[in-house]
Amino acid sequence: MPKLKPISGGLRLIADRASNASPTPARERLPDADAFDAYSRTVSGVAEQLGPSVAHLAVSHRTRRGRRDGSGSGVAISSDGYMLTSAHVVAGGEGMSASFSDGREVGAEVVGADPLSDLAVVRAEASDLASARLGDADELRVGQLVVAIGSPMGLAGTVTAGVVSALGRSLPTRSGSAGRLVENVIQTDAALNPGNSGGALSDGLARVVGINTAVAGIGLGLAIPINDATRKIISSLMNEGRVRRAYIGIVGGSRPLPPRVASRVGREAGIEVVEVVPGSPAARGGLRPEDLIVAVDGEAMADVGDLQRLMVADRIGKGIQVDVVRDGGFLKLDLIPRELET
């Protein structure tokens, strides 16, 4: 094999070309510098405004082998100590402390938790917290900038940014024998890791639009939305320490309606009853598997989420009328929801 000969002067030629090149003007900027600066300013502004409101939560658990420490994040929603976090962060905890960006560490206790929405309210032993502003996740758009602040791996005050990857996701939750789908969950590619749960997902104006709850994969994080429904849950947790829900006792899912039925009711889908819990209000009211629920008290039902939204505390013990399609015929059934036991 012939030997390769080194090229003499090669380095000199490159150097000569570099020396002969025109110098880069000192003030010349990359074409995307303005956009990058605007992005950085937005993220930095959110971090400065919202960072003092987000705490690292250290939670102690008692196990058979002794004590075990867990951690998560929380967001101050009032100056007198109320904080919002994830229910799974505080579940089973026996002691808790909250650490803030100003170096303070104070004790905290659970006011109320709702595993079926994965939200909890805790109260820190402080009266001068920097409270965060709550936004409205219903105003978010896919592609919109969002910023996550929390304590992944115990690293308090960590800021990551990304976009809203998708809206309208569903997150199954469970408490004892009760199950529920949390609706309109926000999907984001902002980096979330263990410990981010309970932390803030913010829009570009430092308004909290979600509470980070789960990491579903690399670049795939989920957050419970802040909207009218969750505001009611937060209010119930602050005032009563729990959330009451009505219950009729069915398992079901969305199903396209037969063309004749769809034409009559003016919509394309209803709720197919897959299972009726024995002894439940649905069983007592005459609902059967394979029934199609098309309306409840005159409100259209297209999926289980529509029914869930109606099953609020005010419905407990009060009669409702369910419009059902069975074997091609239309029926009206009267049910009395009872309180959901968790």
Choice among 56, 73, 86, 118 that is catalytic: 118
DSSP 8-class letter at 278: T
- Residue 267, both tokens: 């919509």
Rounded Cα gap, residues 97 and 106, in angstroms: 6
pLDDT in tens, 120-171: 999 999 999 999 999 999 999 999 999 999 988 778 889 999 999 999 888 8
pLDDT in tens, 266-306: 889 999 999 999 999 999 999 999 999 999 999 999 988 88
More reliable by pLDDT, 32 or 163: 163
Q: Where are the alpha helices (DSSP H) in 141-288?
A: 228-240, 259-265, 281-285
The verdict on whether 127 is a catalytic residue reads: no
The mean pLDDT of the chain is 86
The verdict on whether 88 is a catalytic residue reads: yes
pLDDT in tens, 200-245: 999 999 999 999 997 766 778 999 999 988 999 999 999 999 999 9
The verdict on whether 118 is a catalytic residue reads: yes
Q: What is the pLDDT of residue 321?
A: 96
Flag whether pLDDT at 185 surpasses 90: yes
Choice among 151, 197, 202, 236 that is catalytic: 197
pLDDT in tens, 49-108: 999 999 999 998 777 776 777 889 999 999 999 999 999 999 988 889 999 998 899 999
Cβ(55)–Cβ(74) under 8 Å?
yes
Q: What is the pLDDT of residue 85?
A: 96
Choice among 56, 73, 88, 203 that is catalytic: 88
Rounded Cα gap, residues 148 and 154, in angstroms: 15
